[in-house]
Homo-oligomer: A and B are copies of this chain.
Amino acid sequence: MSETIEEKCLSKGVKLTDQRRIIAKVMSDSTDHPDVDDLYQRVSKIDPKISIATVYRTVKLFEESGILTKHEFKGGKARYEELNEGHHDHLIDVKTGEIIEFVDEEIEKLQKKVADKYGYKLVDHKLELYGVKVKSKDE
Protein backbone atom coordinates (compact mmCIF):
# COMPACT_ATOMS: atom_id res chain seq x y z
CA MET A 1 0.00 0.00 0.00
CA SER A 2 1.03 3.58 -0.53
CA GLU A 3 2.20 6.16 1.99
CA THR A 4 -0.26 7.55 4.48
CA ILE A 5 -0.96 11.27 4.48
CA GLU A 6 1.08 11.61 7.67
CA GLU A 7 4.06 9.98 5.99
CA LYS A 8 3.66 12.28 3.04
CA CYS A 9 3.71 15.29 5.36
CA LEU A 10 6.93 14.12 6.93
CA SER A 11 8.63 13.48 3.63
CA LYS A 12 7.50 16.86 2.32
CA GLY A 13 8.50 18.76 5.44
CA VAL A 14 4.94 19.72 6.37
CA LYS A 15 4.66 20.26 10.08
CA LEU A 16 2.24 17.88 11.75
CA THR A 17 -0.25 19.26 14.21
CA ASP A 18 -3.18 17.56 15.89
CA GLN A 19 -5.58 19.37 13.58
CA ARG A 20 -3.73 18.31 10.46
CA ARG A 21 -3.53 14.75 11.67
CA ILE A 22 -7.29 14.68 12.16
CA ILE A 23 -7.99 16.25 8.79
CA ALA A 24 -5.60 13.79 7.17
CA LYS A 25 -7.32 10.87 8.83
CA VAL A 26 -10.78 12.02 7.83
CA MET A 27 -9.68 12.47 4.23
CA SER A 28 -8.04 9.06 4.19
CA ASP A 29 -11.18 7.47 5.54
CA SER A 30 -13.43 9.21 3.03
CA THR A 31 -14.38 7.30 -0.05
CA ASP A 32 -16.35 10.19 -1.52
CA HIS A 33 -15.19 13.64 -2.57
CA PRO A 34 -16.08 15.92 0.32
CA ASP A 35 -16.27 19.68 0.08
CA VAL A 36 -14.73 21.84 2.79
CA ASP A 37 -17.95 21.98 4.71
CA ASP A 38 -18.44 18.21 4.69
CA LEU A 39 -14.89 17.86 5.86
CA TYR A 40 -15.43 20.41 8.59
CA GLN A 41 -18.51 18.52 9.82
CA ARG A 42 -16.63 15.23 9.96
CA VAL A 43 -13.58 16.72 11.59
CA SER A 44 -15.74 18.51 14.14
CA LYS A 45 -17.08 15.19 15.37
CA ILE A 46 -13.55 14.19 16.34
CA ASP A 47 -12.45 17.57 17.66
CA PRO A 48 -15.20 20.21 17.87
CA LYS A 49 -12.67 22.95 18.53
CA ILE A 50 -11.14 22.89 15.06
CA SER A 51 -12.15 25.96 13.10
CA ILE A 52 -13.26 26.06 9.52
CA ALA A 53 -10.41 28.46 8.76
CA THR A 54 -7.98 25.71 9.69
CA VAL A 55 -9.77 23.28 7.42
CA TYR A 56 -9.49 25.74 4.54
CA ARG A 57 -5.85 26.40 5.33
CA THR A 58 -5.07 22.72 5.59
CA VAL A 59 -6.70 21.55 2.39
CA LYS A 60 -4.90 24.32 0.56
CA LEU A 61 -1.62 23.34 2.12
CA PHE A 62 -2.19 19.68 1.38
CA GLU A 63 -3.09 20.53 -2.17
CA GLU A 64 0.07 22.55 -2.67
CA SER A 65 2.06 19.68 -1.20
CA GLY A 66 0.53 17.23 -3.63
CA ILE A 67 -1.32 15.33 -0.94
CA LEU A 68 -4.85 16.22 -1.93
CA THR A 69 -6.35 17.28 -5.19
CA LYS A 70 -9.10 19.78 -5.68
CA HIS A 71 -12.04 19.38 -8.00
CA GLU A 72 -14.39 22.07 -9.10
CA PHE A 73 -17.28 20.11 -10.46
CA LYS A 74 -20.19 21.93 -11.97
CA GLY A 75 -22.19 24.32 -9.97
CA GLY A 76 -20.68 23.95 -6.64
CA LYS A 77 -18.05 24.26 -4.05
CA ALA A 78 -14.56 22.91 -4.33
CA ARG A 79 -14.28 19.25 -3.40
CA TYR A 80 -11.22 17.33 -2.34
CA GLU A 81 -9.82 13.88 -2.77
CA GLU A 82 -6.66 12.14 -1.66
CA LEU A 83 -4.06 12.07 -4.38
CA ASN A 84 -2.57 8.65 -5.02
CA GLU A 85 -0.30 7.43 -7.75
CA GLY A 86 -3.14 6.02 -9.79
CA HIS A 87 -4.58 8.91 -11.75
CA HIS A 88 -8.24 8.75 -12.66
CA ASP A 89 -11.00 10.90 -14.06
CA HIS A 90 -14.62 11.29 -13.02
CA LEU A 91 -18.00 10.34 -14.35
CA ILE A 92 -20.70 12.26 -12.51
CA ASP A 93 -24.32 11.20 -12.36
CA VAL A 94 -26.15 14.45 -12.94
CA LYS A 95 -29.30 13.20 -11.24
CA THR A 96 -27.86 11.74 -8.05
CA GLY A 97 -24.47 13.42 -7.81
CA GLU A 98 -22.82 10.02 -7.55
CA ILE A 99 -19.24 10.03 -8.75
CA ILE A 100 -17.59 7.13 -10.51
CA GLU A 101 -13.84 7.09 -10.95
CA PHE A 102 -12.42 5.70 -14.13
CA VAL A 103 -9.16 5.36 -16.00
CA ASP A 104 -8.81 5.26 -19.75
CA GLU A 105 -5.26 4.98 -20.97
CA GLU A 106 -6.24 5.63 -24.53
CA ILE A 107 -7.82 8.98 -23.70
CA GLU A 108 -4.72 9.89 -21.69
CA LYS A 109 -2.52 9.15 -24.65
CA LEU A 110 -4.67 11.16 -27.00
CA GLN A 111 -4.56 14.13 -24.67
CA LYS A 112 -0.79 14.15 -24.77
CA LYS A 113 -0.97 13.92 -28.51
CA VAL A 114 -3.28 16.93 -28.74
CA ALA A 115 -1.03 19.02 -26.51
CA ASP A 116 1.94 17.94 -28.54
CA LYS A 117 0.28 18.92 -31.76
CA TYR A 118 -0.04 22.50 -30.50
CA GLY A 119 3.52 22.57 -29.17
CA TYR A 120 2.66 22.10 -25.52
CA LYS A 121 3.80 19.78 -22.81
CA LEU A 122 0.88 18.59 -20.74
CA VAL A 123 1.26 19.47 -17.06
CA ASP A 124 -2.25 18.74 -15.93
CA HIS A 125 -5.66 17.97 -17.23
CA LYS A 126 -9.22 17.68 -16.18
CA LEU A 127 -11.75 15.34 -17.68
CA GLU A 128 -15.25 15.15 -16.31
CA LEU A 129 -18.08 13.26 -17.87
CA TYR A 130 -21.64 14.11 -16.87
CA GLY A 131 -24.22 11.45 -17.58
CA VAL A 132 -27.58 9.96 -16.75
CA LYS A 133 -28.08 6.34 -15.96
CA VAL A 134 -29.48 4.35 -18.85
CA LYS A 135 -32.46 2.26 -17.86
CA SER A 136 -31.94 -1.39 -18.61
CA LYS A 137 -34.94 -3.25 -20.02
CA ASP A 138 -35.90 -4.86 -16.73
CA GLU A 139 -36.54 -1.86 -14.51
Q: Are A126 and B128 in contact (CB under 8 A)?
A: yes
Known A-B contacts A107-B110, A114-B107; the reply to A132 vs B127 at CB < 8 A is: no
Given A93-B120, A106-B110, A123-B94, do A115 and B133 touch, yes or no (CB 8 Å)?
Answer: no
Contact B120 A91 (CB under 8 A): yes
Could you say which residues of chain B place their CB within 8 Å of the CB of A130?
Answer: 122-126
Residues of B within 8 A of A102 (CB): 114, 117-118
Measured between beta carbons, the chain B residues less than 8 angstroms from A120 are 91, 93, 129, 131-134
Q: If the complex has contacts A72-B74, A74-B72, A127-B127, are A111 and B107 also in contact, measured as CB distance less than 8 A?
A: yes
Give bound CA distance, A41 to B103, whole Å.
42
Asked if A100 lies at the interface with its beta carbon under 8 angstroms from chain B, I say yes
A29 on the interface (CB 8 Å rule)?
Answer: no
Interchain nearest-CB distance for A28 vs B (Å): 25
> Closest chain B residue to A72 by CB distance?
B72
A71 CB to nearest chain B CB (Å): 10
